[in-house]
Each structure stands twice: as structure tokens, then as C-alpha cells.
Amino acid sequence: MATTYQCPVFIWQSHQGKFTARLIDDFEEGIAVGETRKEVLDHLRDYLVHRSRQDDFFWLDPDFAEGTIRQVKVAIVPEYRDGERRFPCREPIHFKLPCAVGRRASGLWAACFPTLDVYFDFFEMARFNELAVHYARQFLSDRTPRELTRFLPPAACEIETLSVSIKESSPRERTPELFPQLSRVASPVDKRSAGRIGRAWERDAEVQELMRALREESGSICLVGETGSGKTSILVEAVRRLLKEDESAAARPRFWLSSAARIIAGMRYLGEWQQRCEETIRELAGLRGVLCVENLVDLAGTGGIGPESSVAAFLIPYLRNGELRIVAEATPQEIDACDRVLPGLIDEMRILKIDELTERQALSVLELAGEFYTQNEPVIFSHAASAEVFHLFRRFQPYVAFPGKAIQLMGGIVDRKLREHGAPETGLNDVRREFSSVTGLPERFLRDDEPLVLDSLIANFGARLLGQEEAVSKVCRTIAKFKAGLNDPARPIAVLLFVGPTGVGKTQLVKLLGDFLFPGKSEKERLIRLDMSEYAGPDAAERLIGNVHGRPAELIRRVRANPFSVVLFDEVEKASSEVFDLLMNVFEEGRLCDALGRVTAFNSSIIVMTSNLGSTSSGPLGFSGGQADPEAPPVRTDARAIRAFFRPEFFNRIDHIVEFKPLGRSTIEQITRLELDGLARREGFMDRKIALAFGERLVRRVASNGFDPVYGARPLQRAIEEEVVMPLARMLVAGPEHAGKCLVIDWDERENRLLVEEKVG
């Protein structure tokens, strides 16, 4: 008996007249090149027939309908490389890339760039262009002009449907035909798919225990261990060994890997995902199959408005009656949260605890992974490089369980080496470079042989933040402590409280801290800022961490995405007392759990709180005479007011109170001159090649008008815009005669107006 399949194929013709055809659903091997369309289609048809006869695990299940071709415009700047140095070209190359877009049976959109070996799925067509440009740039970046010429758009392209008739040579069962619903929500864990997941090195005892539990063929299992400890690898290794024991299982896969998001994908109407679950359970029962779930807590947070109406709640009766058997993964904190919000779920599962690897085991796993890459890729991953990966994670991310993230980093190093076609041996610099790229930490913090001179650091910060020598010194000493590796790894890098009047540079110093520690990240990534006045209501704690009915809150999402960052709690005294309760655990252990028990680590963050508490003065707030005015009344921060506001257990978790002094007149004038000098870097002046110089009368006037006793130096920018920038803008648009000149700008006190003169000579 023969079965005919309709397979989508992307065909394109080069400018030399050659044809290339690629199976849209098979990017690994399904490609053919020839002189005519018919020739390449025949090659693909022969390939599919041959593969179906030779591979017992292969089946055709085309899942790409309504295919259309969209053109995606991308501009790529080529670059040349000399070791670690890069030399970008002056002009970008503009690509117009063909992209095939179609629908999955699940309702998801699918897209692929056949000429780039890039494919992705997405939910909303409105985001197609954004995602397509992102993935195309990711693939084409870091290439020379010659390398980019391989990906120039073809002369013509189209989507064709290839009919393939495959005759069954044996009464073998086709899983997708017999189990259509199960095939949509899960993937079979067979020999081929299991081989794509890392080996469970140093986990033989755990694998054997799981195999014994799976052989019993009754009861569900939950693997409990920290994120990255190897739970998935242990599960797949156990399945791999069971398949070796029972070769007949190949025809009817028993183990299927899925996730909560995949179970409900494409389900729009009430009752749809419940019906899908019932059909999936029925198909699994026919196989005596086991559903392997990547994350147990996601089942409790997906599908309904809360855990009580979630996918997990729907499955509990089937687990209790033995109609469904699952193997799930969770962390200890997630188990506690599930037990709290959905007690019946944990009661139906047997817990297998996965302990963290010892240091010896972790290092052994990384060395084995290095040997694996050396044997299977054209690179040499030495034991010294593996040891450096271990050292960097132990030093800078001690809260991360081995080996998950560490092996991912090693894979990234190998991918970079293959892209750059450099020396095959992976050295310590390659490891540090990749770790720096992933975390945002500059390499000077990763190298013990590169010193950090404290006096130079203080001078660097002091030149950018004037009048706050004591505050700058305290913050720089904190940085030096981190560079020396003397900070407590079980806590955040530092917990600082910045106190002082408004407008004296507290937020500016936070930005300088982020710029220095994480220069490889954008400002949004390196600085996570929360206005604590928004967390003053009765629901403040829930808004800070999120609830069981929705996604985690902004703070948790951003720290998970960028664990190496500066977290700023602005005006912390305005927060609710519940927020202080949550922050105490963050300050003490560097951990914060959301409503479903998922842990977010703050150990790689510097936490800064700002406050006006204790800022008292017998004169105007925020402005004293300083050294230029010795008779001005003293202004100080009242430490007693700070201690009286915070509870002792909260106050004791703060590493340093950093006091900011009110700004003196001379300091305000220095800041004003710095801001005015910065105007010359604006585009309008640079395009016209206009140089600027500013007189003392103007500096004094802007400093006086730009400082407010209540708001400090914050109105300074507004004063510069109104009194300097706007008059200059009117002058420049009126005529081009000032182009290429040096303008001296001052204030005419008699005429009370801006005075602009051309510098002679």
C-alpha cells in the first residue's frame, strides 16, 4: 500500500541559471541542485523515498500550508577581522531576501529563509517583519563582503508542492497518522531526537533510578532540581537506554516531550484546549505512553485564569485514575509553590531529587563536553579552556547550577569559532570574550592579571560627577571589592542607599556605575529602574513580583533577562511595608520568588536605593555655598532619621549609606560649563562645522537660573535649552553665514540678551 504526501518545496534560480530546491520542513538534508526545475524536484522525491526506506524513525508529516513568499529588506554592514579587532565597512549592503511564510496546523505562523538556513515560528503576523529582520541580521552579521555575496537574492523563486508516493515495505505503523493530536502537542523522544540533547555525564545513579521508576509503568514522576542541573538530560538518557533495551519501541514511541505552551497553542475558544487534552490522553493510552513535561509549574500557570482552572488542574483526575502518566521537571521552590496553589497535583507524583553536582563532578562534565566538541567539530576545546569556564561561573554566577548554562556558553564559543574561521584551538581569551558578551561584564573584571587602580577610578568618576567626592569614593571602593572577588557570592554584589537632597547627582552616579560595570549593554539592559512611589498601595507586593494569574512582573522579567545589571529603587521610602518584606530576602540571599515559585537571582546585580530621608538644612534645600561661600549654614544628612524610618532588620542588610552633599555655587558653575561644552557635539553644529566657546557671564547666569532650591540642578538642562539653544537655533536657520566659524557666546548684561560673536584668528 502506498501513501501520497504533499510536501512544500522552495525553488530558486541563481543568476547563472542553476536551480536549487529545498524542503521547507527539512532544513538538515532536504536540498537539491540541478540544471532544471524537474531535475531538482526528482532529486528531492528520490531522497524522500530512500530516506523512508532506510530510516525507521522517519515519517513525512508536512505542516506548512497557505505558503506565500514575502520579500524582507535588510541592511548589513560588512566587516573585516584581524584577530579580535573588527573593521566595519563604510557602507552597508542592502539585501532583499525571499522568505516563505505559511500556517502550521496548530495555528502558528511559520517562516523560513531558504537561502540562509534560517526558520522560525511566530504568533502574530503583525510582528513578522520585525522578527524576520532580526533573524536575518543575526545570521548575516560579522561577515566580510565576500562572505555576504553568497547570500545575494536569487534571480527568481517560487513555492512548489511536491507529490511523493511512499510504499510501505512492512506493516509498520505511522505514528502521525495514528496519533494526530499527540503529534501536534508533543514530539516523540526516540533515538534520533534523544541524540540532539546533551549527555547526562556524571549522572549514572540518577539515570538508573529514573529507569527503574519508568519500568514500573505506573505513577507519575517529578524530577526536582535547580535550573540547569541536568534534569532534561537525565530524562532523555534514561529514555535512550530504555530504547536500547526494547528495539520494538521504535515503531510505537512511548515517550513524548511537550510543554504547557505547546499544549494550548492555537486554542482560541472556550473548551478547545480541554478537548485537545482529552484526545491526547486517549492516544497516549493506546501507546501506554508517557508525557514528558519540560516545566511542571507552567502547567499550573497556563490555560485558565488561575491554577484552579489551569492545564494542571484539568489533568489531576486523569493522573489520579491512572489514565495518564507524566514525567515533569521542577525546582524545589516551584514544588513548594505548586503544593500551595494546587495541592492535589504534587500528591499524584513521585519525587526524584536531582542533587547539584560537586565541584569535581562539574569540572569533569565540562571537560567531557570539551572533548565532545573536539571530536565532533573542527575545533580544539582544551581542558584549560573548560577549567576557565568553570572558574568564571563559580566566580561570577555561583548561583547557577552546573552544567546547563556552562555548556551553553561552551556551545556559543564553538559557534563563534566556526563563524570566524580563526585558529581551531579555543584559548582562555575566547572563553573570556564569550562570557563578557553573554553577561555584559567587561573583560577587565574577568582577568586577575589586569589591575584596577582605585585612584584612577575615583578620578574618572569624579570628572563626570562634580562635587560628590565622598559618594564617588564609596562607590568606587565597592567596585574595587567586586574586582578583587571579596564580595559575598550569596548576596547581591552590593546593596547601597543613596541619600541626600534632590538634584545633587544620585541618579547620575547610578548611571555611571552601570556604564562602567556593563558597557557592553544598552542603558535599558544595564539599568533597571523602578519608581517606588508606584508600589505604595495595598497590592504593591503583587505588582512587584506578579500573581498566579498572569506573567511575572517587570522587575522579575528584566532581571531574568539581564542578571548582570544595576537595579535602582528610586525614592524607596515611598514603598509599601510589604515591599520592604520582599526586599529583605533579596538583600540577604539575592533571591526573589514569583507567585509560582520561580526563582530570580539578584546575586549578579548591584542594588541601589535613593531617598531624601534625613536631608535637613537651616538654609535652602540642596544648595549651599560650599568652599566658595564658607559662611553658608551647614547642610547634612540626619542618620537618625534614616534609622528611625527603616526597621533594624532591613537597615542591617544595607551595605553602605552613601551620603550626597548639597552642591556649592562653584560646583554648579562647573556643571553648567560641562553641559554647555557638550552642545558642540550636537548634530546641527557638527554638520555646519561650528566651534563654540562660552563666556563666564553666560555660565554664571545659566548656573543661577538653572538651579532651584527644591529641585537642585535638574532644571539646568531646561535653562540651557531656553536661554542658549533656542536663540542659537533661530540664528542658524536664518542664514548660513556662520558655517565653519568659531562662535564666542556670552551674556550681554546691559541688553539682557545672548551675545554671539565670531572669533577672529
Q: Has residue 315 got a pLDDT over 80?
A: yes
Residue 278 has pLDDT above 90, yes or no: yes
Integer CA distances (angstroms), 351 to 215, 299, 332, 335, 571, in order:
16, 17, 10, 10, 44
**Average pLDDT, rounded, for the chain:** 85
Confidence of residue 178 (pLDDT cuts 50, 70, 90): low
Is the pLDDT confidence value at 627 over 50?
no
Hey, what amino acid is at 639? Answer: A
Question: Is the pLDDT score of 174 beyond 80?
Answer: no
pLDDT for residue 632 is more than 50: no
Cα dihedral 256→259→260→261 (10° resolution)? -120
**Distances from the Cα of 339 to the Cα of 297, 488, 596, angstroms:** 10, 32, 10
pLDDT in tens, 548-579: 666 778 899 899 989 999 999 999 999 999 99
Residue 549 confidence (pLDDT) = 63
Query: How far, in Å, CA of 656 to CA of 33, rounded?
Result: 67
pLDDT of residue 649: 93
**pLDDT for 288 beyond 70:** yes
In this prediction, residue 172 carries a pLDDT of 41
Burial of residue 422, with CB atoms counted within 10 A of its CB: 0-12 exposed, 13-18 middle, 19 or more buried:
middle
Note the helical H segments in 79-151.
128-140, 145-148
pLDDT, position 706 = 77
Question: Where do we find the cell 569540572?
Answer: 363
Predicted model pTM:
0.69
With cut-offs at 50, 70 and 90, classify the pLDDT of residue 171: very low
Distance separating alpha carbons of residues 162 and 144, to the nearest angstrom: 36
Averaged pLDDT for residues 67-95: 88
**Secondary structure of 461-529 in HEC code, one letter for each residue:** HHHHCCCCHHHHHHHHHHHHHHHCCCCCCCCCCEEEEEECCCCCCHHHHHHHHHHHHCCCCCHHHHEEE
Report strand pairing: 566-570 vs 606-611. Answer: parallel
Cis bond before residue 403 (omega within 30° of 0): yes
pLDDT at 161 over 70: yes
Per-residue cell: 709: 532650591
Q: 540 CB contacts (<8 Å, ≥6 apart)?
A: 575, 576, 578, 579
Q: Look at 705 and 207; give whichever has higher pLDDT.
A: 207
pLDDT at 709 over 80: no
Average of per-residue pLDDT across 488-502: 92
Q: In the chain, how long is the greatest CA-to-CA distance?
A: 103
* Residue pair 445/479 in contact by the 8 Å Cβ criterion: no
Q: How far apart are CA 304 and CA 265, in angstroms?
A: 13
Pairing mode, if any, of strands 326-330 and 31-34? unpaired
Q: Render pLDDT for 186-244 as a digit per residue (tens, 0 to 9).
A: 888 865 555 556 678 899 999 999 999 998 878 899 999 999 899 989 998 898 888 87
Residue 516: its pLDDT value, please?
94
Q: Is 284 exposed, middle or buried (0-12, 13-18, 19+ CB in 10 A)?
A: buried
Q: How confident is the model at residue 249 (pLDDT cuts 50, 70, 90)?
A: low
> What is the model's pLDDT at position 617?
46
Work out the number of other CB atoms within 10 angstroms of the CB of residue 186.
Answer: 24
Q: What is the mean pLDDT of residues 170-198?
A: 64
State the Cα–Cα distance between residues 190 and 102, nearest whole angstrom. 28
Predicted pLDDT of residue 177: 54
Residue 512 confidence class, pLDDT cut points 50, 70, 90: very high
Q: What's the pLDDT at 623?
A: 43
pLDDT attached to residue 106: 67
Lowest mean pLDDT among 531-540, 693-702, 706-715: 706-715
Following DSSP, what letter does each residue of 693-736 receive, concatenated?
EE-HHHHHHHHHHT-BTTTBTTTHHHHHIIIIIHHHHHHHHH-S
Q: Is the pLDDT of residue 364 over 80?
A: yes
Q: Mind listing the domains of the chain with CATH numbers?
A: 2-167 (no CATH), 175-353 (3.40.50.300), 359-439 (1.10.8), 454-659 (3.40.50.300), 665-758 (1.10.8.60)
